[in-house]
Each structure stands twice: as C-alpha cells, then as structure tokens.
Structure 1
Amino acid sequence: MYTISETAEKLGMSAHTLRYYEKEGIIAPQRNEAGIREFDEQHILWLQFVKKMRETQMPVTQIKAYTELFQEGEHTAGDRLKLLEEHQQYIKDQIETLQATDEMLTKKITAYKKAMKGILN
C-alpha cells in the first residue's frame, strides 16, 4: 500500500491531482483506520492508464465517463471500446498533423540554412 504522496511521486503527478481524481470518481483509494488514503498496485496501474489518456489530451470528462462505464460492468464493454477507439483516432490524427508540420519545418529550416550559408560565403 502507498500513501498519497508515495503514489504521487511514483506516478510523477501531484497529490492535488490524485485528490481531484478521487473527487471526480476516477479513483477510489482505500482509507485506513486513521482515514489516510491508501493506494495499491491496481490503483497504480489504473492511474498510469489515466495519466497516459491525459497526456494524449483525453478530457477528464471522457475519462470519468469511461470510469463510470467500467464500474457499471461488462455489459458496457462496447461503449468503452468505442470511447477508446475514438480517442485512438484522435491520437492518429494528431500524429499525422505533427508529421506534416515536422516536414514543413524541415523544409523551412533547410531553406534558411542554405540562405544563411550563401550570405556567410
């Protein structure tokens, strides 16, 4: 079991973020006799997933919706799959945009370097 500060450090996120996720119903840590939050390995795995979804711009509202569907049970698997497929498509679209932008920047940078080389010679 991990405390909130240990969990935050392990995941590279703030304790404030973990409390927010708890408030939003995205995570439900156990509490010990003293009322202190305790996180286990399952919580860590779940939070790693949540962190990746946030890093790829999935809104908290969608993560919350996914969490609620998961908690409802296996009959929601189709809805969860759809939500993840839509997010995956969003990521693929972003990758395509970034690759096109990188190519454009490479051309611009090359043109500037050629122009500057001509000025310096």
Structure 2
Amino acid sequence: MIDKSVTFTIDADIYEKFCIALNLTNETKDVAVEKCMRWYIAKASQIYNPKLLVRENEDANSDFYGKAIQRIPVWALKSNQYNNKIIRAYFKTVVATGRATIDIMERLCSDENNPELYVPTFKKITHR
C-alpha cells in the first residue's frame, strides 16, 4: 500500500487541543489523524446501510459521543480534575490491553501511589 500525504487547515484552538490530546495518548499526529479518518469513513458508510440507520435513529437520544467531544478538550487542560485522570486511565488501559474495562480502570484510578491517575471516588462515580 502506498502512503499518501495530506495537508489541511484547521482552527488554531482545535489544533492546540489536538496536540494536548496527542500528549495524553502518546500517539503521533499521523496515527491519530488516520484513526479519525477511519472513524469518519465508518460513520459516513452508515449512510449506505439502512440497518445501521435504524439503529442510529434509536441511539439518537443517547448521543454521549456528541457531549463528550465537546467536554474532553476542556478536561484535557485541567490535569488535576478527576475527568482528566479517568480519560488518561482509559487511554492507558487501551494502550496496555487493546480495550478499556471498568475493572482495569478502577484498579488504575484506585492506586493512591499513582497520583497522576488517582481518583478516590472512582468506584462511587462508576457504580451509581
């Protein structure tokens, strides 16, 4: 497969938050942008699949993705907030195991010896 080079212009604020997210995930720009493009292709391809359109309409009331995409860049700037620590635990879990589970994230966020990820109320937050 031949790699392609892509150039585009984006808002400076979005780019700054993207760089912060890269720092949290330890990914390269190329890897992160390719993941975004794959997500976009998958999302766009649902238009051509009527079965997925029905499911998408059913899930419209629980659009957590839309809410998260607005809030995560703000959380990324505040490293002492629990939201930030939970997101870092999520990415650390995905890097280590390929997927994130509540059990693994709970272990990471419950370790007082790791202040970077420690969230004393994590179990209470996730078990409401």
TM-score of the superposed pair, with normalisation by structure 2: 0.35
Bigger Rg, structure 1 or 2: 1
TM-score of the superposed pair, with normalisation by structure 1: 0.37
Structure with the bigger percentage of helix: 1
